[in-house]
Amino acid sequence: MAAISRDEVAHLARLSRLAVTPDELDMFAGQLDVILQSVARVGEVAADDIPPTSHSVPLTNVFRDDVVVPGLTLEEALSGAPDQAEQRFRVPRILDEEA
């Protein structure tokens, strides 16, 4: 028995706001049925004695402590700028702005 009917595919298409032809309904019903059967087979393989995992190997994150260090002064930051205006980096305009 098919896991998904043609009417269910039409309902999903309406919810998704997709225009689907009658021929596509039949095609998608078959394709979705194969997908749902495959997912069901995966569920059959899962064993109760195997704990669920998100990775096949254990992962350990290595974090460093946050250390506050002094940043650049405004003058230091702008010292290497090819062009500056009003204490800011000046770059070529790429978008037109309306006043």
Q: Give me the CATH topology for the region 6-45.
A: Histone, subunit A (1.10.20)
- Record the pTM: 0.45
Residue with tokens 């009917």: 5
* Full pLDDT tens readout for the chain, 99 residues: 567 888 999 999 999 999 999 999 999 999 999 998 888 888 777 677 777 777 778 778 888 899 999 999 999 999 989 999 999 999 888 887 665
Per DSSP, helices labelled H in the chain are 6-15, 22-45, 74-78
